Amino acid sequence: MTAQLSCDICVIGGGSAGLSVAAGAAQMGADTILIERGDMGGDCLNSGCVPSKSLLAAAKAAHAGAQAKDFGITYAAPRIDFPAVQAHVQDVIDSIAPHDSVERFEGLGVRVLRESAQFLSPQKLAVGDQRIHARRFVLATGSRPLIPPVPGLEDVPYLTNETVFEVQDCPEHLIILGGGPIGCELGQAFRRLGARVSIVEMNRMLGREDRGAAQLLRERLQAEGIAIHENTSISEVRHDTAGLQVVLKNEEGETTLEGARLLVAAGRQPVTDGLNLEAAKVVHDRRGIQVDARLRTSNRRIFAAGDVIGGPQFTHAAGYQAGIILRNALFRLPAKADYRALPRVTYTAPELAQVGLTEAEAREQGGKFEVLQHSLAENDRARCERESEGFIKILATPSGRILGATILSAHAGELILPWTLAIARNMKLSALAGIIAPYPTLSEVSKQVAAHYYTPKLFSSRTRRLVRLFLRLG
């Protein structure tokens, strides 16, 4: 018999956004159902943030010996046990998995159903042999790797972020299709773990990021031995017993790369298949489900969050969106998503962090602004650690209000937080210029670059005249 279930809020998708909504709703007293047909934790836990940063940590350990010579210390070349590296990655996933498990959520009072879901009407959902009627639905079904229409690719055993952490042998030559954050992070990780790496990018590597920061990072990756092919497309992929042949095409003509494995990191596409969104009267297209600023779909009883809406595809964005939905769905508050202060980080070495506008975006918007830039080479702690490669760049209005921040440095992901707060709270540079920063720390760069804004005024001829006047007064 078909079971009839009802609830206050039904969440479809057990990734970052869905889990945050379900946990919050249940703990605040809402009768909550969570539906997940795959692995709990979604992409972030199983094939995204957690495994990639775990692999990067292993790669950093492998590279430590190469950096030690700058301190007068020499190590033998590292012996890399690649299956053990992948075991480390899986161990980290396993250690975090209980936090996202069915057992934990059932303990919070959430009813968890491990089935596929399909809408029957704007307010009714089929889940196996059960029918669910909910006051509110939340779509958080995430995204999957985008596979470009490259001739021959369908006949090649390529890798994606969903399968690359299952590889037990480090490939002799890894060719990466895509020069975005995923391609750059995994490219550097595999290079440091012993692979030859080639990155192929149709446009400019890290094209969304500050051009100067991307260029310095490009040079760092090349110095580590990574071949980077920008403004280059792949016209064909072939595979035989000898390995892969990837035909590259650019303005100089065609060349062929031979490699062992191909990693496709060309973007993401939203997962909406099987949901029957037409029956739910939810408007969507290939870019994702359409939502308004309150994250409501065209069906006002259905919200959507995370990668499936095609916006910023970050775990922290999904968590933020979950909070917007809870305020709207449970408290009827007209909360709206505001991404002005949404940070993003590419976790290469050095890291590249951004919040607010880049310089190019600021110029496109028009209006007056100033650019402040401070080199990490001027930071004493960076010199002590021999990590002085990079800079911090701040965009500010003539009145000192902060528009954006770019940081290329070690630990840039940690250093971006005060600038995120400053933009979110409409703070001025004086707030950061006036703080007391511990010495010696990398965090001093924020105070130093903010102080540069006031240097011309502080040491001006007008200031000197005032000082002389006050001194004459005794």
User: What secondary structure does DSSP assign to 287-342, as a single string?
Assistant: TEE---TT-B-SSTTEEE-GGGGTS---HHHHHHHHHHHHHHHHH--------TT-
State the fold for domain 344-458.
Enolase-like; domain 1 (3.30.390)
d(CA 464, CA 29) in angstroms, rounded, equals: 64
Residues 6+ apart with CB under 8 A from 304: 138, 139, 140, 282, 289, 291, 295, 297
The predicted model scores a pTM of 0.95
Which H helix or E strand runs over 408?
strand 402-409
How distant is the alpha carbon of residue 240 from its chain centre?
A: 35
Beta bridge partners of 391: 375, 408
d(CA 279, CA 368) in angstroms, rounded, equals: 49
Residues 6+ apart with CB under 8 A from 217: 184, 205, 206, 346, 348, 350, 352, 408
State the fold for domain 153-266.
FAD/NAD(P)-binding domain (3.50.50)
DSSP secondary structure code for residue 344 in this structure? E
DSSP secondary structure code for residue 96 in this structure? H
Contact between 187 and 221 (Cβ < 8 Å) = yes
Contact between 33 and 132 (Cβ < 8 Å) = yes
- Closest alpha carbon to 304 in 330, 270, 342, 344: 270
DSSP secondary structure code for residue 69 in this structure? G
Which H helix or E strand runs over 351?
strand 351-356
| Topology match between the domains 153-266 and 344-458 | no
- Closest alpha carbon to 405 in 457, 445, 454, 465: 445
**Looking at residue 407, what is its pLDDT?**
98
Collapsing DSSP to helix, strand or coil, 432 comes out as helix
**pLDDT digits (tens), the chain, 474 positions:** 689 999 999 999 999 999 999 999 999 999 999 999 999 999 999 999 999 999 999 999 999 999 999 999 999 999 999 999 999 999 999 999 999 999 999 999 999 999 999 999 999 999 999 999 999 999 999 999 999 999 999 999 999 999 999 999 999 999 999 999 999 999 999 999 999 999 999 999 999 999 999 999 999 999 999 999 999 999 999 998 888 999 999 998 999 999 999 999 999 999 999 999 999 999 999 999 999 999 999 999 999 999 999 999 999 999 999 999 999 999 999 999 999 999 999 999 999 999 999 999 999 999 999 999 999 999 999 999 999 999 999 999 999 999 999 999 999 999 999 999 999 999 999 999 999 999 999 999 999 999 999 888 778 888 788 888 888 887
Place of tokens 């149709």: 202
**Looking at residue 376, what is its pLDDT?**
96
Please state which of the four CATH numbers 3.30.1330.90, 3.30.70.20, 3.40.50.150, 3.50.50.60 is assigned to the domain occupying 3-40+101-144+269-331.
Answer: 3.50.50.60
249-280 b/e (C-beta count within 10 Å ≥ 16 → b): eeeeeeeebebebbbbbbebbbbbeebbbeeb
d(CA 199, CA 349) in angstroms, rounded, equals: 16
Place of tokens 């001194």: 471
- Closest alpha carbon to 307 in 352, 270, 333: 270
Q: Where are any strands of DSSP class E within 128-232?
A: 130-139, 143-145, 173-177, 196-200, 227-229
d(CA 296, CA 292) in angstroms, rounded, equals: 6
What is the domain partition of the chain in residue ranges? Answer: 3-40+101-144+269-331, 153-266, 344-458
**Looking at residue 390, what is its pLDDT?**
97
**Looking at residue 1, what is its pLDDT?**
66
